[in-house]
Structure formats: C-alpha cells, structure tokens
Homo-oligomer: A and B are copies of this chain.
C-alpha cells in the first residue's frame, strides 16, 4: 500500500476541470476506497490565469507540461487537452516514464488506440478511457469485465448529445433542422462549427472504440460508414411517428459472420425500443450479447462533471491496481482481425419519401423497379398532395443496401417520380 498516490493533469478545459473538481471535492470518498490518499499534485495548462469553478491550491498550476509528464512524483497522468497532437506524444512520454494514463479523448483513442495500448502494455502501465464514450455513463468497463463472457452481437448507441438534442426538439416541436440547430448553438448545446456533431464524425470515433472492444478486433475509424442528420426534415419525423418509429442518429456495430458492420446514420427505430425514449442531450448504449441478451447504459454523455466522474473512476481503478501491484491486468483485447463489411452488403430495412405524379401506373413502375432489384415493400402510405403531386411514404422489408440503392436510383429517374425527397435506414 502506497503512502499516497499522486495525480497530474494536463489540460484544464471542460473535462480537465471536471476531473480536478471530483478529485478535489470527493478526495475523502476516493481515498478511502483506494486505501490511501489520492492527491492532484500538478496541473499543466497554457492558461493558468482564468478562474475555474473549482477551489484548489493554485500553486500546483504550471504552464510547463514536463512538470507533469517527467515528474517522478506523479503516478497517474490525466490527459484532457484533446485532439491527436500533441496529446499522443504527451501520453507516450508519460507511459515511457512509467506513469499510468487516463484519457477521455475519443478522437485520439479511435485513431491511435492501438499504439497507445501497445505502449501501455510494453511499459506495464494502465491506460483507461471510460470517459471517451458516453461521458459519465459506465460502458467501456462493463463491456470489458461484466459482459466479458459474452459474444457481443450488436452495439447500438445514441452517443452524440448535440444531435440527439436537435432530433428531440425537431420531434417534439415539429421544427426543421436548421432552425433547431441555431437554437442549440445559442444554448451552447452545439458548437459554432457543428460539423463534427451533425455529420456524425464524433459518433464515428465513439463507435470505433465501442466496436473494437465489443468484437475483440480493431475497428478503424476510416472504415466506418457515416451519414449526418442534416437531411432529416420535419416531415420525415412526423411520418416515422405515424408508422411507429422515431428517428435517432445511431452508431451501429454488428457481428455479421466473420465480419463486422460499423455505421453511423440517422435511423428509424420502433417507439418501443429502449433507445427510442432517450431524449435531449442524453446518451445511451444498447448492447446485445449471446447470453446477457439486451442491456442498455443510459446517462449524460458529455459535460464537465459527468465526464469528470468517469475520469476519476478510472483513477480509482488504477490506484487500486497500484496498491495491489497489478497494473496492466486488463490489456488490449483486440485479438482478432475481422473485416468491416462493405456497406453495399449490409442488410437493413429502408424508409423513403417520394413525390410522385398523381396518376395511374405510377405505383406499378415503382413496384417494377423494386421487384427488379429484389426489394419488397412492407408498407406504403399515400400522404399529402402538393399541387398535382402526391407524397408517398414506403418502408421496405430487409434487403442489402446495394439493391436498395439501385432500385431507388432507377425510381429517381422515372418520369412519373418528381423527387426522391429522402430515404433512411430502419432498424428493429
């Protein structure tokens, strides 16, 4: 048992400040669970002037990152500067100095996880990142331990709070994307440049991490298909509801034979699905395993305090390992080399909204195009009229994407079809 375990933090932004605050405010709670005091002894940030909402001894602040990374007294380094550079180099340096590392940097882990876990292993140190997915929600460790005996078959998550907030608002208030986005930006729920969120890039990083753990095979972020929510219209949400669905931006990974499906896109899910009632900025990760069947983890997927909670939980776990001399007890579990299934071959159901001429034979020609591509229609509803055009909404049975795309392209070129207004994937 050590006399004291010392923590250094690099990066005092939103998450770093949250982590510092938990470690300071709940020091007693943490220390007795670990068995010895756990103390933040050094915090590095370029800005050591701005006041942060945490009461702590300012003398531990430094602008010099080496006073954390190369400090012989520091046992655990918390990396909360974000981005890939220079975060990766800092982490590698800390590990080579024998320090354990906690990180909530999804982009870095998604892109460089292999290197980082490898270096951790070589140096016999822990590298934990519970906060990288789902903010405060416990999901990485439950997957790695509690569900370890399962063959995971599917992970589906609402892992981006900004887009979930926007879709919830669109859904409850019947408003359009652009309109709600503006409001979300004003309220601080969306960034001035919202691209990473609304185009699904943020969700892609998180899915790469979840899928790599779930399927014991590294999932490269570049291989994940992604589509954002910018093309969702208020009508789609409204029609989906009539059909018994809600629209969510889902990060989906499935075991499919020896391959893995990995994709991020807006998705219709039945209103009875546990993910359907996850609203506002909340996140949830739904997991299906061969024995556990279905479980879901729900909570606040971002924010200073929730993510700080996850980071501090990792610190507790590492500190217990230090006191029992067993760091590195859960190494990287990417044992396999599974291929990512081409999106062309992914099978799902599809929703589509078409604007067509209101005349005989239109449906026959659409049905022909579907039939030619082995797409079969599960349900169809004729909706509103727009002048002499009718809006129709259809949902297909399960079919591979390649076939659906061929069919919908053909349909888009039919003289009787004015417009393929939108099409979206459907999961059950």
Contact = CB atoms under 8 A, between A and B. Distances in A.
Interface string A319-342: 011011110111001010000000
Given A293-B299, A308-B291, A29 B149 contact: yes
B147 A309 contact: yes
A385 interface: no
Contacts of A323: 329
A136 B149 CA distance: 11
A63 interface: no
Interface stretch (A18-26, A75-83, A190-198): A18-26
A131 to B, nearest CB: 10
A290 interface: yes
B309 A292 contact: yes
A89 B342 CA distance: 56
A150 interface: yes
Among the interface residues A22, A130, A321, A335, which one has the most CB atoms of the partner chain B within 10 A?
A22
Q: How large is the interface on A (under 10, 10 to 19, 20 to 34, 35 or more residues)?
A: 35 or more
A287 to B, nearest CB: 9
Contacts of A292: 136, 299-300, 305-306, 309-310
A85 interface: no
Contacts of A30: 148-149
A293 B305 contact: yes
Interface stretch (A137-145, A237-245, A386-394): A137-145
A294 B26 CA distance: 17
Contact of A298 (B146, B274, B300, B308): B274
Interface string A66-91: 00000000000000000000000000
Given A32-B335, A148-B30, A291 B316 contact: no
A315 interface: yes
Contacts of A298: 274, 295-298
| A151, A305, A309 pick with most chain B CB within 10 angstroms | A309
A16 interface: no
Contacts of A312: 148-149, 291
Nearest to A32: B335
Interface in A136-187: 136-138, 141-142, 145-151
A108 to B, nearest CB: 20
A39 to B, nearest CB: 14
A164 to B, nearest CB: 14
Contact of A316 (B18, B130, B148): B148
A297 B147 CA distance: 13
Contact of A299 (B294, B303, B309, B326): B294
Given A138-B146, A148-B33, A289 B309 contact: yes
A148 B299 CA distance: 16
B295 A136 contact: yes
Nearest to A297: B297
A277 interface: yes
Given A22-B150, A33-B148, A292-B300, 5 more contacts: A30-B148, A136-B291, A142-B142, A149-B315, A295-B297
